[in-house]
Amino acid sequence: MLYGWELITEKEKKLISEGIRCGEALGGPWHMVLFPTDRCNIDCFFCYTETLRNLAKELDWELLRPALLEGVDMGVKSVSFGGGGEPLIYRSLGPLFDLIEEKKLKVDSIKTNGTALTESVARRLIGSGLSRITISLNDTRPEEYEKICRASPRLFEKAMGGIHNIVEAKRKAGSDCEISVQVFVWRENYKRLPRMIEDLLPTDADFIYVNSIDGLDPKLKMTGSQKEEFRKILVPVIEEHARRIQFNLAAEGLHRFAIEEQYKHYPRAIELPGICKTPHRVEFCYMGWYTAVIEAGGDLFPCCHFTTDPSKSLGNLHSSSLKEIWQGEPMRRFRGEMRHLLLTDADPGLLPRHPRFIFPLCMERTACAFNYYLCDPAFYMDLYNWAKKNGGSYRAIRKLKSLPIRAARKIKRFLSSRNRI
């Protein structure tokens, strides 16, 4: 479960479930994702948020504070941190932590580069009930860090110190927070993966997250022969460290190989606790009834995948209250499209003609963790069974509406084939 779902009472779950069934929000939000700043103190060459960082937007505390207080009144119990920049260099981080502690909010998770993860910040994060933290170190050698992050070796030392600080804070508090340190592999460093893992094992982080780089220039990706060589490197690495490694090698086309190899040695590595164990999809996205993202410019988005696309904004805190945006038309449309996927079993042939929010990730069961791991299995199964029982008429209407569209497509294909002849 993610985003503080474990804090939700049975009464609140029922309220969320009833809202999904009728297509409205009957409460909430219960969680807020905060992207407080687009400023960053490193400049990773591959970062997809480079355009955001160039604008260097940052949430004014006088805007964020009342929005969070309003959220608490509406039901918010937890927050998470991420963003286009480094969240721990947010200029109002101290007052933000003070408010989190005053209102007894849980910090569920954070993604950080670790350079500003001081002893004090680490203690406050752990003290807030932090469940998971991912520290993007990217590489484990100062000279390589300098190249990939376009930052000084001094910041590398700060990042390593940040890892130490959060591990120590966890140990002293007896916390069960999951600490992951992320490194990237690409054609320039894949041969050094065994050494990177050896470098990180002494940190006592729970996991070493071996990631590939989405959106990387094809010229910088591994060649076919390099992938073959990397497979041979991975086999003994996985055999020795299967319990400590997490993988996402999809961008290099090697993810299935890695997890299948890992499964041989440690099946639990790819078996999440509290997940629906069914061969077919029973989980759908319920983010629109539970949470929203507040971005550095004050825009609210339904989830983190949309934050670089202004057309997906639900509204802006500079002109509307949190409650007005939560109950507003754009958010209602997002809920309607996600409810549509539930009622049609994400049938691509029954999609709305001009969906605004349905993203390729929404269509696949495990393409996005929030598709299948936000809620608990009983909650997912209850809604799936309801949709199976009550979605027949909805699907029939959608099929009727799609007939003219499908007919037009067939005519277009027929005419195109005639033109080729």
How far apart, in Å, are the Cα atoms of 280 and each of 62, 263, 308, 393?
A: 47, 21, 32, 22
Which strands make up the sheet holding 207-211, listed edge to edge?
245-248, 207-211, 178-184, 132-138, 106-112, 78-81, 31-34, 291-294, 299-301, 315-316
How far apart, in Å, are the Cα atoms of 29 and each of 16, 292, 417?
A: 10, 7, 51
Distance CA 351, CA 361 (A): 14
Digit-by-digit pLDDT tens for the chain (421 residues) are 788 999 999 999 999 999 999 999 999 999 999 999 999 988 887 776 555 556 679 999 999 999 999 999 999 999 999 988 999 999 999 999 999 999 999 999 999 999 999 999 999 999 999 999 999 999 999 998 888 888 888 999 999 999 999 999 999 999 999 999 999 999 999 999 999 999 999 999 999 999 998 878 888 899 999 999 999 999 999 999 999 999 889 889 998 899 899 989 988 776 777 788 888 899 999 999 999 999 999 999 999 888 888 999 999 999 999 999 999 999 999 999 999 999 999 999 888 888 999 988 899 887 788 888 899 999 999 999 999 998 888 888 777 776 665 565 565 565 566 555 5
pLDDT at position 220 is 87
Instruction: Please check whether residue 341 is in contact with residue 358, taking contact to mean a CB–CB distance below 8 angstroms.
Output: yes
pLDDT at position 48 is 64
Instruction: Please check whether residue 17 is in contact with residue 383, taking contact to mean a CB–CB distance below 8 angstroms.
Output: yes
Two structure tokens written together for 30? 């219960």
Distance CA 50, CA 106 (A): 30
Instruction: Please check whether residue 16 is in contact with residue 5, taking contact to mean a CB–CB distance below 8 angstroms.
Output: no
Instruction: Please check whether residue 36 is in contact with residue 58, taking contact to mean a CB–CB distance below 8 angstroms.
Output: yes
Task: Quote the DSSP letter at residue 358.
Answer: -
Distance CA 222, CA 231 (A): 12
Instruction: Please check whether residue 37 is in contact with residue 82, taking contact to mean a CB–CB distance below 8 angstroms.
Output: no
- Looking at the whole model, is its pTM more than 0.85? yes
pLDDT at position 128 is 96
